[in-house]
Structure 1
Amino acid sequence: MKLLTMHDLNMVDSLSFSFKGTFDATGGVEPALTPLVDALEKYADGWMPTLVKSTRKRRYSREAVWRAIEERRDEYGSIIGLYRSESPAVSLVLNLTLAQGQSTLRASLDVQPLPFFREESSRSLAAVARAWAAQYPVAYASAHSNADEQLADSPNFGRDDREARRDGFDKIYELFWLNIFGPKLVESVGRERMLSTPAHLVEELPNGSILLVLWPTAAEFASEEARVVQARAHVHLRPDLDFDSVLRTLRERSAALVPVEPCFHPDVAPFLSRLPDEFAISERQRKIAELNAFRPPVPEEWLPVAHPSDVANPERVLESYGELSEGLVAALHTKVPSIMDETAESLTHLDFYFWRENFPERYT
């Protein structure tokens, strides 16, 4: 059973839900996390994880979750994964930092593909987010397109890593499809202002947090209508921002995600067709457009007829070429298996390997 990997997440867009809450584990991890599992089982219709992974894989059950947490537990906490191998693919990583008093729950949920989240599925994700946020207080949490988050430079939002780690989401840098604002952030903006945000759903939770959903369906986040709502809501919460500028940026991000049909020059198409998947999903369409426009240079040298040798010992030179090629095969036959076939396609695979490894800069 194949599990969703980081490589898979970069192939097509997914819905990414990042959640960091606190809880009291003094009464035990199982009772503290039961509400989390309750919400998943009740609301995750159509995208419920089916596997639990720690030191081994098990079919999903509550008992499997508790056993996995204990298997991976150390003096700092525990990390386990919940997965769904069939479509939609799901990866839910639970990272628990266990301490006396207040413990921390970090949940990273990715569901692929993003178009799965039409109205009903979007409501189910919002229900899980609502239940978790009501039980495990957060400073901020969000769910959105993975690709668009990259374009927004989340979670740094233009800051360096040190500043982003130090300050966190201390003001409304960005609005995503689903947002949960903790009490401190709510008060910094103004509770009444936040509750009056023009959006699809604005709901105050019992612990003072506010759940804000911009648009009914996560899959339509990049539509013109959804972007207008996103810009209007952002400017409502950040009156210092200019609506036209915010909307222009959002439209540029939407344009960057519009699929571009690969149409590479036939002379280099076998090589270029392998490149797009190596770029971040947020950059891929722009890269495809650049590669479509690429034209290989016209050859500067032609050898239509044989020329007399200009080396003293042609046989020795040919022999040295053979030694070099044998050394290349010995060094790369496991990383580029097709090199053993000695075909034209082998050269394409070799070129791709050298490009990905950044030769010659990396080794000279």
Structure 2
Amino acid sequence: MKLLTVHDLNKADSLSFTFEGSFDATQGVERALTPLVDALEKHAEGWMPTVVKSGRKRKYSREAVWRALEERRDEYGSIIGLYRPENPAVSLVFNFILTQDESSFHSRLDLQPLHFFSGVDACRTLVAVARAWAARYSVPYASAHSIADEQLAGSPCFGRKERDARRDGFDKIYELFWLNVFGPKLVESVGRERMLSTPAHLVEELPNGSVLLVLWPTAAEFASEEARVAQARAHVHLRPDLDFDTVLRKLRERSAALVPVEPRFHPDVAPFLSRLPDEFAISERQRKIAELNAFRPPVPEEWLPVAHPSDVEKPKRVLESYGDLSEGLVAALHTKVPSIMDETAESLTDLDFYFWRDNFPERYKRELIDSHTAPALGAYLGDVLVRRLGGTWVLRAKMEESQVRVGKRVWLPFLRARRYMQSCRSLLDYSLTQFFHEVERYRP
């Protein structure tokens, strides 16, 4: 049973609902938190969690929630997760801070895919949960919105230093999202009359003085032109100091940044480049794909039309030393790059990705890279050319001059490896993946 992870959430856009509430736990935690699960069981139609997880996984039930809460409880509080592995996938994490006075909780609901909320009825279910929680628990501010667009908006700091954002929270209307819950303090700072007259799909005053505001009928259409206009109008209504045209322009720019870009990577490096976009924040993904589409690696120059003859007296010993270097690289990386043991084109692509994701040339000392990693990688690369493309070593006393003959050309794997390890940019310009495919074209 696979549960939704942080990595999964970065693969595609999701709806994220964050809520911080306070409650009185003196009459018992179970009693105080029952409204949370009441609202879920009553309203979360189609996306109700089915798994409760603390130290172990259990099928969802109220009893399972209370047992998980106690299992993870310590002097500071408790943290539990409710999940749904089926489509739509759900991750709902509760972090409870339990004190003798006023207790509190922070919850984050992530639901994927976002297009589950393309229908009005599905959106009503989340609005109903938000309404029930906000009416029962004191909350300064809560919101539900696209994760990708939240990132583009700068949430949760909104241009502030992190320490200031933690201290002040959402103390003024920095941004409006698809669903918003404004606590009484924030409502009064804006003006209750102004807040209740906001042009939006739903504006509802709750019994405890909070205001629930939903900008548009459906969450999944947040980036449409109509939804963005509505968002800008509501924002400048609540913040008269803002200019409508400026706000709308920025919202349109965010929408444009999220328009899907079809990957069209250079074929020689596509196996490598296709892995990179998922490593960037979901909000940056399309821009990065466009940049990688435009990337054209330099044509490999690490080859000679005619081989320099071998000048070593004991070729067997030299080959053994290369084998030792290659085996050392395999021993060092086989747990992080399991395919390295196979010595295939795919192994080279896996190494490209590993070195790039690890920021290897910038992270480790240059002396170590130049004296050990690059030579070991050159030996390994040469062995792959020999094993997979029928190459033959032409050994030279100076290691960087050693060649592998494939077809009518001789190739310089140690030189390629040295250039490759110069910087993180070099990992792209001199990728092992591209080098292999270039050599492959000259295989007889």
What band does the TM-score fall into relative to the shorter chain? Answer: over 0.9
Deviations 1:13-46 (A, max 9, x none): 1100000010000000111011111100000000
Q: How much does 1:105 deviate?
A: 1.4
The aligned counterpart of 2:212 is 211
The aligned counterpart of 1:77 is 77
User: SS where residue 360 of structure 1 aligns?
Assistant: helix
The aligned counterpart of 1:351 is 352
The aligned counterpart of 1:242 is 243
The aligned counterpart of 2:386 is none
Aligned partners of 1:197, 1:223: CA distance in 2, in Å? Answer: 20
Deviations 1:133-189 (A, max 9, x none): 000010000000011111111000011111101111010000000000000000000
Aligned: 1:52 with 2:74: no
The aligned counterpart of 1:171 is 172
Q: How much does 1:299 deviate?
A: 2.7
Aligned partners of 1:193, 1:76: CA distance in 2, in Å? Answer: 40
Structure 2 segments unaligned to the other structure (5+ residues) = 366-444
Aligned partners of 1:123, 1:207: CA distance in 2, in Å? Answer: 21
TM-score if structure 1 supplies the norm length? 0.98
- Larger Rg belongs to: 2
Q: How much does 1:351 deviate?
A: 1.1
Aligned partners of 2:302, 2:98: CA distance in 1, in Å? Answer: 68
Aligned: 1:325 with 2:326: yes
Output the aligned Cα RMSD.
Answer: 1.1
**Taking structure 1 as reference, are residues 247 and 304 closer, same or farther at Cα in structure 2, changes over 3 Å only?**
same
Aligned partners of 2:12, 2:211: CA distance in 1, in Å? Answer: 30
The aligned counterpart of 1:302 is 303
User: SS where residue 361 of structure 2 aligns?
Assistant: coil
The letter of the residue matching 2:266 is: H
Alignment of 1:57-136 (within 5 A): 57-117=57-117, 118-136=119-137
Point out the structure with the larger helix share.
Answer: 2
Aligned partners of 1:344, 1:254: CA distance in 2, in Å? Answer: 38
The aligned counterpart of 1:15 is 15
Structure 1 segments unaligned to the other structure (5+ residues) = none
The aligned counterpart of 2:190 is 189
Aligned: 1:257 with 2:258: yes
The letter of the residue matching 1:10 is: N
Q: How many residues align?
A: 364
Deviations 1:75-103 (A, max 9, x none): 11110000001000000001110111210
Deviations 1:41-66 (A, max 9, x none): 00000000001011111100111111
Q: How much does 1:359 deviate?
A: 1.2
User: SS where residue 37 of structure 1 aligns?
Assistant: helix
Aligned partners of 2:100, 2:334: CA distance in 1, in Å? Answer: 53
Q: What is the identity percentage for the equivalent residue pairs of Structure 1 and Structure 2?
A: 84
Aligned: 1:37 with 2:37: yes
Aligned partners of 1:64, 1:354: CA distance in 2, in Å? Answer: 43
**Taking structure 1 as reference, are residues 149 and 311 closer, same or farther at Cα in structure 2, changes over 3 Å only?**
farther
The letter of the residue matching 2:121 is: E
Q: How much does 1:309 deviate?
A: 3.6
User: SS where residue 110 of structure 1 aligns?
Assistant: strand
Q: How much does 1:318 deviate?
A: 3.4
Aligned: 1:231 with 2:237: no
The letter of the residue matching 2:71 is: E
The aligned counterpart of 1:266 is 267
Aligned partners of 2:270, 2:305: CA distance in 1, in Å? Answer: 25
User: SS where residue 334 of structure 1 aligns?
Assistant: coil
Aligned partners of 1:245, 1:318: CA distance in 2, in Å? Answer: 66
Deviations 1:278-336 (A, max 9, x none): 11111111000000000011233431222124667655443332211110000111111
Which structure is richer in relative contact order (CA contacts within 8 A, separation 6 or more)? 1
Deviations 1:107-149 (A, max 9, x none): 1100110000121111110000000000001000000001111
User: SS where residue 94 of structure 1 aligns?
Assistant: strand
**Taking structure 1 as reference, are residues 199 and 332 closer, same or farther at Cα in structure 2, changes over 3 Å only?**
same
Q: How much does 1:227 deviate?
A: 0.4
